[in-house]
Amino acid sequence: MSVEQSNLLETDIEGYLKQHENKELLRFITCGSVDDGKSTLIGRLLHDSKMIFEDQLAAINKDSKKHGTTGETVDLALLVDGLQSEREQGITIDVAYRYFATDKRKFIIADTPGHEQYTRNMATGASTADLAIILIDARYGVQTQTRRHSYITRLLGIKHIVVAVNKMDIVDFSEERFNQIKAEYTAFAKELGIINPIFTPVSALTGDNVVNASEHMPWFTGQPLMQLLDSIPLNDTTDLEHFRFPVQYVNRPNLDFRGFCGTIAGGTISVGDEITVLPSLKTSRVKQVIQPAVSVDKMAIDTAFAPMSITLTLEDEVDISRGDMIVKSSDIPEVTDQLEVMLVWMNETPMHIGADYLIKRATNVTPGRFIQLDYKVDINTLEHRPAEQLELNEIAQCRLSLNQKISFDPYEKIKGTGSFVVIDKYTNATLAAGMIRGRSTLQTSTQTQKEYSAFEKDLNVLVRQHFPEWQCKSISDLLK
């Protein structure tokens, strides 16, 4: 915090809060392979930018003697590695979020784990990020997990990639080693479609080139990492053209009010706009746009836009429930039950073709199954390889068949209506994250699926009639 801001905080708290409110917000993640120094880098950013309170620093000094991995030096990784198991093993397991601000921007950092076992946590942290800092250990260069995390950041549409080559102090701040790693990653990034990644050499342990320029690397003429984060241009990726409103809750406090609550996934909406409800295709007009507010007179507004949380009331009595999508009648998205998707499998139980799952897209949950696995991606070579099932952390393109039609947008267009999670219908465990690419061109109709289900039902009846000892079995169980 600058002296000017500190004085403002003491003399005009409302002015300080107003100034803080108007700052740009940058969400970023740190990711990469195991022990690349992600948590230490975040700790160094907070420490050297004076964003740690004295009691926090005292606690870290004390904990370093018990859990630290840096000898006599304070272990700044302990600022974000708060779980006991993380401190005992010296690794990150869960996603840890930290918040800080400079004179120019506010920041939300997600420290994500590097272990392959916890890739699902990394994907969770990356799903809302604007920028990714991919750390690479200067000793080992680009690793498999570095490639996997880079692929996931590209898949999730993160626009800004900063490659921080860490632990430069261990390789004597070698320019030659830095350039070797830069060339290796640049070749991989080109194949992946990552455009213009930014490279910076750092030592999170000693603070070189993190907040302040390093005296040990005069050959590097770029900005220190903190200045880079403060100045990198931010592009608002929110789609304000196509209105998409997944209904989360129907508010019916009395006979005179029926409101449809949710968060706008894309576009804008105004009083008087003609809307269509999907999948029913019922139409009406917007009567009121209501937002949460401190005073009642400020609740009703004329226009709302993504990503505001609002309540809509309509001029007509239309049957709408949770999971439906409200859109403008002049801009209706595609509706289908056959989708081409990219899938990141996040569970130790493999994905099987034809198995039943629950698919949660926005507020809609519907049964579905993957009817074809087009290919899975070899993370090291980016080759597309045939596969019959997906294992933990594998990434693939699949064909998804749903039991009912849904409206959708491609993920690269609107994330809120183009992403989904796969849920186990029996345990309710989250199994995978998916990105919709478009309508599937595979000729497998809903009618065919229904005919197969009817055939399977009749076959189950015959099995139970002629094989009573298999009373609790279905034909699907017997075929496994």
Digit-coded pLDDT (tens) for 396-428 = 999 999 999 999 999 989 998 999 999 999 999
Task: State yes or no: pLDDT of 283 exceeds 70.
Answer: yes
Share of the chain above pLDDT 70, in %: 75
Class of domain 3-231 (CATH, top level): alpha beta
Q: What pLDDT score does 327 carry?
A: 96
The better pLDDT of the pair 461, 158 is held by 158
**Residue 120: pLDDT over 90:** no
Range name among 66-70, 165-169, 228-232, 255-259 with the lowest pLDDT average: 66-70
Minimum mean pLDDT range among 62-76, 167-181, 211-225: 62-76
Q: Are 347 and 376 in contact (CB under 8 A)?
A: no
Q: Give the pLDDT of residue 59.
A: 58
CATH number of this structure's domain 334-444, picked from the four choices 2.40.30.10, 1.10.260.40, 3.50.50.60, 2.160.10.10: 2.40.30.10
Which residues lie below 8 Å from residue 10, measured CB to CB, with a gap of 6+? none
**For position 34, what pLDDT does the model report?**
74
Length of the chain: 480
Which of the listed ranges 40-44, 129-133, 149-153, 244-248 does the model predict with the highest average pLDDT? 244-248
Q: What is the pLDDT of residue 85?
A: 40
Q: Mean pLDDT highest for which of 117-121, 400-404, 449-453?
A: 400-404
Question: Among residues 48, 228, 50, which one has the least CA distance to residue 133?
Answer: 228
Read off the pLDDT of each residue in 420-446 and give the average, rounded to a whole number: 85
Q: How far separated are the first and last CA of the chain, in Å rounded?
A: 62
- If we measure between CA atoms, which residue out of 369, 279, 366, 276 comes closest to residue 326? 276
- Region of poorest pLDDT, from 52-56, 84-88, 169-173, 326-330: 84-88
Q: Which residue has the higher pLDDT, 95 or 378?
A: 378
Q: What is the pLDDT of residue 467?
A: 63
Non-local (6+) Cβ contacts of 242 within 8 A are 266, 267, 327, 331, 333, 409, 413, 414
Residue 361: is its pLDDT beyond 80? yes
Which of the given ranges, 278-282, 446-450, 467-471, has the highest pLDDT on average?
Answer: 278-282
> Per-residue pLDDT for 86 more than 50?
no
Give pLDDT tens digits for 192-209. 889 899 999 999 888 899
Pick the CATH number of 244-328 from 3.20.20.70, 2.40.30.10, 3.10.620.30, 3.40.50.720: 2.40.30.10
Q: Say if CB 244 and CB 410 are below 8 A apart.
A: no
Asked if the model's pLDDT at residue 109 lies above 90, the reply is: no
pLDDT attached to residue 84: 39
pLDDT at 3 over 70: no
Q: Tell me if 244-328 shares its fold with 334-444.
A: yes
Copy the structure tokens of residue 244.
């998409």
Instruction: Kindly report the pTM of this predicted structure.
Output: 0.76
pLDDT tens per residue, range 218-249: 999 999 999 999 999 887 777 889 999 999 99
In this structure, are residues 194 and 150 in contact, taking their beta carbons and an 8 Å threshold?
yes
**Predicted confidence band of residue 92 (pLDDT cuts 50, 70, 90):** very low
- As a whole number of angstroms, the distance between CA 434 and CA 411 comes to 9
Q: Are 296 and 277 in contact (CB under 8 A)?
A: no
Q: Which of 55, 35, 212 is CA-nearest to residue 137?
A: 35
351 vs 390: CA distance, rounded Å: 5
For residues 390 and 373, is the Cβ–Cβ distance under 8 A?
A: yes
Q: Which two tokens stand for residue 228?
A: 């880079």
Measure the CA–CA gap between 357 and 367, rounded to whole angstroms. 6
Q: What is the mean pLDDT of residues 174-190?
A: 95
Least confident segment among 39-48, 152-161, 373-382, 396-405: 39-48
What is the chain's mean pLDDT, rounded? 82
pLDDT score at 476: 54
What are the tokens at 97?
């979020």
User: How far is the C-alpha of 85 from the C-alpha of 413, rounded, in Å?
Assistant: 40
Q: Report whether 413 contacts 239 (CB < 8 A).
A: yes
Q: Structure tokens of 179?
A: 């350039």
pLDDT, position 110: 82
The residue among 280, 299, 277 whose CA lies nearest residue 288 is: 299
Q: Which residue has the higher pLDDT, 180 or 13?
A: 180
SS (H, E, C) 202-226: CECCCCECCCECCCCCCCCCCCCHH
pLDDT at res. 373: 94
132-136, 305-309, 461-465, 472-476: the lowest-pLDDT one: 472-476
Average pLDDT over residues 161-176: 95
pLDDT band with cut points at 50, 70 and 90 for residue 100: confident
Q: Where are the domains of the chain?
A: 3-231, 244-328, 334-444, 447-479
